[in-house]
């Protein structure tokens, strides 16, 4: 498989502060790359740079122009609550208008009932809203998906469901997934490679089992992390 993305010597400064320095990694098509690191290490910044939203130095090379789906972090309901949008309206904001049938199909994929289609998006619970967003991203059939902490606000069982759902779709559709998460068990279970970022500029990159151990985790998070491997 070819590399879908090559990043070489990436530097990102925001407001004069170095966020990322001399970062290099490669992603092959069909891989799941998990980006790991403490708050403030630059995970979301990296995603935004890869999406082309941020100025940077160094090389970000996509092999072809991918069709990207993006679920940003903390896109909670607060903003959406103010807007008079039903769930159906929310899907109608997309470039390609999905039919109600398609929307219902994707809603049921993420474990939501079709009946919420005409409910106000702002009246959904936090977890329901997040699931709706996952469906919102998936419905456009992207080749590459950026998920920035997709299970925020979803209960434990629900989080598992979303991840196994993503895993299923990933297996079927040859998707490339970039996933930011704090959940170490997800890293072992679902990712091809892991990229860790730390505030001090320690990076690690590779397959999770070879890359992650007590020492690297301590370097990244600055504290002892208990490691439970899932095989």
Partner 1 sequence: MLYQLFLTLISGIFIGGVAGYLGTLMLSKKMSVVAGPLAHLALPGVALALICGFSISLGAFPFVILGAILIWILEKKTKLPMENLSAIIFASGVGIALLILPIGEAEEALVGNITKITLPETLITVLLSLAVFCVVKKIYKKMMLMSVYEDLATVEGVNISLYNLLYLLSIAVVVALGVYLVGGLITAALIAIPSASAKNVSKGLLSYKISAVIFGITSAVIGIVIARFTQFPTGPLVIITNVVLFLISIIFRRKSLDID
Q: Which residues pair with 3 in a beta bridge?
A: 28
Binding mask 116-145 for partner 1 (x = CB under 8 A): --x-x--x----------------------
Contact between 53 and partner 1 by CB under 8 A: the answer reads: yes
Contact between 227 and partner 1 by CB under 8 A: the answer reads: no
Give the CA distances from residue 38 to residues 7, 25, 42, 150, 181, in Å, rounded to whole numbers and listed in that order. 21, 19, 9, 16, 10
Among positions 1, 84, 101, 157, the unique one binding partner 1 when judged by CB under 8 A: 84
Q: Distance between alpha carbon 134 and the CA centroid of its chain, in Å?
A: 10
Contact between 85 and partner 1 by CB under 8 A: the answer reads: yes
DSSP 8-state code for residue 122: G
Cβ proximity to partner 1: between 129 and 188 the closer is 129
Contact between 169 and partner 1 by CB under 8 A: the answer reads: no
Contact between 54 and partner 1 by CB under 8 A: the answer reads: no
- Helix (H) or strand (E) holding 218, with range, is helix 214-221
Helices (H), 12-99: 43-51, 77-81, 87-92
Stretch that binds partner 1, among 20-28, 73-81, 149-157, 207-215 (CB under 8 A): 73-81
């Amino acid at each position: 498989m070819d590399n879908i993305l090559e990043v070489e010597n990436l530097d990102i400064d925001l407001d004069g502060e170095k966020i990322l320095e001399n970062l290099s990694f490669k992603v092959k098509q069909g891989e799941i790359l998990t980006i790991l690191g403490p708050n403030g290490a630059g995970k979301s910044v990296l995603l935004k740079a890869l999406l082309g939203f941020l100025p940077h130095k160094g090389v970000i090379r996509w092999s072809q122009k991918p069709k990207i789906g993006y679920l940003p972090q903390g896109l909670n309901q607060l903003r959406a609550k103010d807007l008079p949008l039903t769930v159906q309206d929310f899907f109608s904001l997309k470039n390609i208008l999905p039919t109600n049938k398609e929307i219902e199909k994707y809603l049921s994929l993420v474990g939501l009932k079709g009946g919420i289609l005409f409910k106000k998006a702002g009246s959904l619970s936090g977890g329901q809203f997040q699931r709706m967003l996952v469906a919102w991203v998936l419905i456009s059939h992207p080749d590459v998906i950026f998920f920035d902490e997709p299970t925020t606000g979803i209960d434990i069982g629900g989080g598992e469901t979303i991840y196994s759902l993503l895993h299923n779709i990933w297996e079927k559709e040859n998707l490339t997934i970039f996933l930011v998460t704090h959940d170490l068990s997800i890293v072992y279970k679902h990712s091809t490679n892991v990229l860790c970022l730390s505030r001090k500029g320690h990076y690690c990159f590779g397959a999770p089992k070879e890359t992650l151990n007590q020492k690297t985790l301590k370097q990244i998070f600055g504290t002892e992390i208990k490691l439970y491997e899932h095989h």
